[in-house]
Amino acid sequence: MKLLAIHTHPVQYVAPQLRWLAAHTSLEVLYLCRQNAGAPGAKATSAAPDPGFGQTLCWDQPLLEGYTSGFLCAGGLSAIEGWHGLLWLPAALRWIRRARPDAVLLFNHAPLLVAALAGVLPRLGIRVFLRTEVTDAVRLRSPLLALLRDLGLRWIYRRSTMLFPISSHGRRHLEVRGVPPERICLVNYAPDTGWLEAQRRHWQPQAARLRQQLGIDPHAPVLLYAGRLAPEKDVLLIPEALARLPLQELQRLHLISVGSGPLEPEWNRRLAALLGARFHPLGFLNQGEIGMAYAMADALVLPSRHSETWGLVAHEALAFGCQVLLSDRVGCVADLQALGQPIRLFHAGQVAGLVAVLREWLTAPQHAPVQPCADLPDVLDFPQALLAALRARRA
């Protein structure tokens, strides 16, 4: 079976899925741009700063090995986004006609160029399988934008043979829009679990030494924030909540910060004033370095207000044995709770709710990390489900 996968750009957690598919199908991958791919021949760095973090990313593992791939354009994400991205539609269709696939796997339905492909491909007699992060639970929209989005998505869904949402929120989104259950296959999002386990084995034995280097007492509770320092993450809710803790609890607490973004100066100022030497801003860490932060932490906090379709940092923290404190706008909450994961939940934007879960965690008999969680979604769950669907539709 000839399968063509179309993605906007190389992604760390998708690469092992593509390698698995290449071993079990005749796979070709078309990337719409070179974001995260580096210059031609490079493997480990992004060609342009990541639009989320404003930093050049690098990876310890190759993103392009183990499968055949090509690039539609040489630019970054900005080259294919928005209405001008549709200018690349003729070139994409020429690539597809040359590849002559039996089926096309589309990752998500954004930008507009991918949405256009989802509508055109069935007219060419090519079945579309859609991996989608869509949800109505975590994104704030105006009524007009919500209506236009809804009409566009219904049009795409009607033309898709099978849809693979990443969360239970996504499945409900599809059901509400009339997609029949037999065309929906829920497969949770997951990081590269093999790489994550290797990182845990590497960094956790060093946790005591790493804490000592930062001046953290072995018995002190350590809270971690890892992610963009941006308004949609509502990160400034964290110092606001910490300021309301009883003094004896606050004076024991250390906070490690990993990430960058537009709120970084204000974030650093507030927490330095509040915690002094117990605030440890590590800045932006690349893939092979972030495990040190998880290894030192007892708990991760993620107060996102919107646009958190899954929340991979929660998944990663659980794999390292951290407890997680999540807002109810983080997309993975319902799915990970259904798997029995130890999640402390609060309402997004409510400082009193975050204070309550912080105190619950700090005053628990054991605030140290729980045992690393094995019952988490696996990175290969999706390609295995996709292959089963491809074979079933071919039979």
Q: Span 231-254, mean pLDDT?
A: 97
Q: How far apart are CA 345 and CA 367, in angstroms?
A: 16
What's the CATH number for 2-190+378-394?
Answer: 3.40.50.2000
- pLDDT at residue 42 above 50? no
Q: Span 11-27, mean pLDDT?
A: 96
Which pLDDT tens digit goes with each residue over 82-136?
Answer: 898 999 999 999 999 999 999 999 998 778 999 999 989 999 999 999 999 988 8
Domain 193-363 adopts which CATH fold?
Rossmann fold (3.40.50)
- pLDDT at residue 186 above 80? yes
Global pTM exceeds 0.85: yes
Pick the closest to residue 352 from 279, 311, 300, 303 (CA basis): 303
Question: Which residues of the chain does CATH 3.40.50.2000 include?
Answer: 2-190+378-394, 193-363
Which pLDDT tens digit goes with each residue over 374-392?
Answer: 678 999 999 999 999 999 9
DSSP state of 184: B
Please confirm whether the linkage preceding 303 is cis (ω < 30° from 0).
no
Cα-Cα-Cα-Cα torsion 384, 387, 389, 395, nearest 10 degrees, comes to: -140
Q: Span 150-158, mean pLDDT?
A: 92
CA distances for 241 relative to 19, 31, 298, 299, angstroms: 44, 42, 18, 15
- How does strand 68-71 pair with strand 26-31? parallel
pLDDT at residue 395, rounded to an integer = 57
DSSP line for 268-307 = HHHHHHHHGGGEEEEE---TTTTHHHHHH-SEEEE---S-
pLDDT at residue 51, rounded to an integer = 53
pLDDT at residue 59, rounded to an integer = 60
What confidence category does residue 258 fall into, taking pLDDT thresholds of 50, 70 and 90? very high
What confidence category does residue 39 fall into, taking pLDDT thresholds of 50, 70 and 90? very low
